[in-house]
Amino acid sequence: MATQVTLKPFTDDNGNVIETSLELENSRVVFRGKNNRLIIDPKAKLERVIVNFDGDNAVVSMGASRY
Protein backbone atom coordinates (compact mmCIF):
# COMPACT_ATOMS: atom_id res chain seq x y z
CA MET A 1 0.00 0.00 0.00
CA ALA A 2 1.33 3.42 -0.91
CA THR A 3 1.42 6.42 1.40
CA GLN A 4 1.17 9.76 -0.44
CA VAL A 5 2.03 12.92 1.49
CA THR A 6 2.52 16.62 0.82
CA LEU A 7 6.15 17.70 0.86
CA LYS A 8 6.65 18.84 4.46
CA PRO A 9 8.20 17.28 7.59
CA PHE A 10 6.88 13.73 7.95
CA THR A 11 7.45 10.34 9.61
CA ASP A 12 5.40 7.14 9.57
CA ASP A 13 5.27 3.72 11.24
CA ASN A 14 7.26 2.16 8.36
CA GLY A 15 10.32 4.29 9.10
CA ASN A 16 9.81 6.66 6.15
CA VAL A 17 10.99 10.20 6.86
CA ILE A 18 10.96 13.61 5.20
CA GLU A 19 13.52 15.92 6.81
CA THR A 20 12.90 19.53 5.82
CA SER A 21 11.69 22.83 7.19
CA LEU A 22 9.95 23.59 3.88
CA GLU A 23 6.28 23.06 3.08
CA LEU A 24 5.78 22.93 -0.67
CA GLU A 25 2.41 23.12 -2.37
CA ASN A 26 1.84 21.29 -5.65
CA SER A 27 4.41 18.70 -4.55
CA ARG A 28 4.12 15.17 -3.25
CA VAL A 29 6.08 12.22 -1.99
CA VAL A 30 4.88 8.63 -2.41
CA PHE A 31 6.26 5.89 -0.14
CA ARG A 32 5.68 2.28 -1.25
CA GLY A 33 8.51 0.83 0.81
CA LYS A 34 10.06 1.06 4.26
CA ASN A 35 12.91 3.00 5.87
CA ASN A 36 13.20 5.62 3.13
CA ARG A 37 14.52 9.11 3.82
CA LEU A 38 14.12 12.37 1.88
CA ILE A 39 16.36 15.22 3.08
CA ILE A 40 15.84 18.72 1.68
CA ASP A 41 18.04 21.68 2.56
CA PRO A 42 16.01 24.68 3.82
CA LYS A 43 17.70 26.87 1.17
CA ALA A 44 16.67 24.61 -1.72
CA LYS A 45 14.54 26.33 -4.35
CA LEU A 46 12.00 23.76 -5.53
CA GLU A 47 8.64 23.80 -7.28
CA ARG A 48 6.23 21.04 -8.27
CA VAL A 49 8.34 18.22 -6.83
CA ILE A 50 7.23 14.59 -7.15
CA VAL A 51 9.32 11.91 -5.44
CA ASN A 52 8.42 8.20 -5.55
CA PHE A 53 10.06 5.65 -3.26
CA ASP A 54 9.20 2.23 -4.74
CA GLY A 55 11.64 0.18 -2.63
CA ASP A 56 13.21 0.04 0.80
CA ASN A 57 16.16 1.80 2.48
CA ALA A 58 16.64 4.63 -0.04
CA VAL A 59 18.09 8.05 0.76
CA VAL A 60 17.54 11.13 -1.43
CA SER A 61 19.19 14.44 -0.51
CA MET A 62 18.45 17.77 -2.24
CA GLY A 63 20.90 20.54 -1.45
CA ALA A 64 20.71 24.31 -1.52
CA SER A 65 20.35 26.06 -4.83
CA ARG A 66 23.43 27.90 -6.06
CA TYR A 67 21.88 30.53 -8.28
- Give the count of beta carbons closer than 10 Å to the beta carbon of residue 55: 11
The burial class, CB within 10 Å (0-12 / 13-18 / 19+), for 24 is middle
Pairing of strands 10-11, 17-19: antiparallel
pLDDT digits (tens, 9 = 90+) for 7-44: 899 999 999 999 999 988 889 999 999 999 999 999 99
pLDDT digits (tens, 9 = 90+) for 23-32: 888 899 999 9
Q: Which residues contact 27 (CB under 8 A, 6 or more apart)?
A: 6, 7, 46, 47, 48, 49, 50
pTM, whole model, 2 decimals? 0.88
